[in-house]
């Protein structure tokens, strides 16, 4: 049975807009893209000495297991030139699984829901655009509620680039 999977995509190297669009198009290989948020320009978090990111959220339906999907997403990142030189550092593309249906996965290699999503405006703002009523399977609160509870310290603004975020 297809499950709805929510992903967060980000890029801060090269043509960020093109990188996101290329990744969204490639996601057709892991499932059926159901919704794509606007693109948001966001300041870096944790490792702040780097260029600003473009981020978006994507909803896909997939038959893959969480582990298989993660393997495919890592392969896609590598194909698009992602290099893991510095933790939280600059990247052509970053794809995180935020939520995978109602599943909870807690293994050394994969944690779903994403353990930091509730504290990241750059994740929640785009996700609230496409799935405001989706419930965090552990916290039992909607994306809209989680976003409303965040302090306003992280700068996240809609990108005024090339318009609609659909590839």
Bond from prior residue into 119 cis (ω within 30 degrees of 0): no
Supply the residues annotated as catalytic. 82, 91, 94, 96
- For the chain, the farthest-separated pair of C-alpha atoms sits apart, in whole angstroms, at 43
Report CA torsion sign: 98, 123, 131, 56. negative
Report how far apart, in Å, the C-alpha atoms of 144 and of each of 41, 64, 118, 122, 130 are: 19, 27, 10, 13, 10
Degrees, nearest 5: CA angle 49-52-58? 130
Distance in Å from the first CA to the final CA of the chain? 26
């Amino acid at each position: 049975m297809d499950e709805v999977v929510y992903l967060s995509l980000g890029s801060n190297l090269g043509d960020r807009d093109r990188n996101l669009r290329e990744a969204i198009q490639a996601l057709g290989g892991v499932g059926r893209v159901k919704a794509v948020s606007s693109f948001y320009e966001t300041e870096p978090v944790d490792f702040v000495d780097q260029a600003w990111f473009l981020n978006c959220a994507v909803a896909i339906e997939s038959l893959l297991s969480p582990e298989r999907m993660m393997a495919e997403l890592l392969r896609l990142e590598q194909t698009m030139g992602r290099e893991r030189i510095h933790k939280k550092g600059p990247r052509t593309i970053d794809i995180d699984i935020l939520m995978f249906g109602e599943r909870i996965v807690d293994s050394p290699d994969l944690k779903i829901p994403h353990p930091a999503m509730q504290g990241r405006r750059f994740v929640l703002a785009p996700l609230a655009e496409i799935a405001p009523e989706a419930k965090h399977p552990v916290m039992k609160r909607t994306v809209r509620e989680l976003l409303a509870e965040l302090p306003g310290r992280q700068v996240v603004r809609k990108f005024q680039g090339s318009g609609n975020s659909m590839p």
